[in-house]
Amino acid sequence: MFRAILSRLKQGHRTMPYPKEPVQLPEHFRGYPELSPRLCTADCSECAASCPFGAISCTGGLSLDLGKCLFCADCGAVDKGLVRFTRDHRLAASSRAELVVRADSPRPLARPLDKKRLSLFSRSLKLREVSAGGCNACEADTNVLATIGWDLGRFGIQFVASPRHADGIWVTGPVTENMREALLMTYEAIPSPKIVIACGACAINGGPFQGSREAGSGVDGLLPVDLYIPGCPPHPVTILDGILRALDKIPSP
């Protein structure tokens, strides 16, 4: 017992101080994009066509849909400097429309839930995760939050095994045909009031499989989504930031 106590004293505090202090991100981290349409010297439809997932649009000016973007940086818009990914991890949004980035639009951030649900969930939020046909990347980065370095439980947030014990549903994957019924049944089993969180490009819009009848086009349209967390997969700090903003644990700038 004494050895265990001495070992813990020697190791010190391992949990990162985020959100009180900024988290250190890798050099090549791709976060919130900056758009520079003034650099476009040709028809921007070429850049739009260079994205196989339809994330870039030139209708009404250059825009980038974070719900469709896989952050691959292989498109023509990045090559020409029209799109530059910053290291800003704050990507989550409260509505699907707010995931569309434009050069002249204000920067949206995820908003707190309504007062009723906030009063119920701000201190204790239990989520039931449904992997609706995903590749397990979003699930893996979500699981990282349960490690000692992140310690999701210190915020009162926990993933549970039964929807009957949950306050909301956490959806990953494009909602394949084989998982559609299971997803809807899980949602119905969660007591009201409840929340729905779409994690990753697949859950938001179908990801690289969008438009496929078998793979599905995400949870949007099937369930009322309260929080969208884009990425392929989203970084753990992006996931945590979105949840904490929804619970009003991070003040707006």
CATH architecture of 115-246: 3-Layer(aba) Sandwich (3.40)
Res 183: pLDDT: 97
- Can you tell me the distance from the alpha carbon of 3 to that of 172, in angstroms, rounded to the nearest whole number? 42
Q: What is the pLDDT of residue 192?
A: 96
State the pLDDT at residue 41.
60
Give counts: helices (H), strands (E), the chain.
8, 10
CA angle 219, 160, 205 (to 5 degrees): 15
Q: What is the pLDDT of residue 253?
A: 63
pLDDT in the model for residue 39: 67
pLDDT in tens, 97-154: 999 999 888 889 999 999 999 999 999 999 999 999 989 999 999 999 999 889 999 9
**Residue numbers in the chain where pLDDT is lower than 70:** 8, 11-13, 39-44, 252-253
CA distance 236 to 238: 5
229 neighbors 200 (Cβ within 8 angstroms): yes
Report residue 57: phi and psi, to 5°: -135, 150
Q: What are the sequence ranges of the domains in the chain?
A: 115-246
**Contact predicate 66/101, CB 8 Å:** yes
Query: Structure tokens of 163?
Result: 């929807």
Predicted confidence at residue 119, as pLDDT, reads 95
Contacts of 50 (CB under 8 A, 6+ apart): 56, 75, 76, 77
Cα–Cα distance, 74 to 208 (Å, whole number) = 14
* CA proximity to 36, closest of 106, 86, 103: 103
Cβ–Cβ < 8 Å for 108, 92: no
111 close to 245: Cβ distance less than 8 angstroms: yes
CB 109 within 8 A of CB 244: no
Residue 198 region, left (φ>0) first, then alpha (ψ -120 to 50), else beta?
Answer: beta
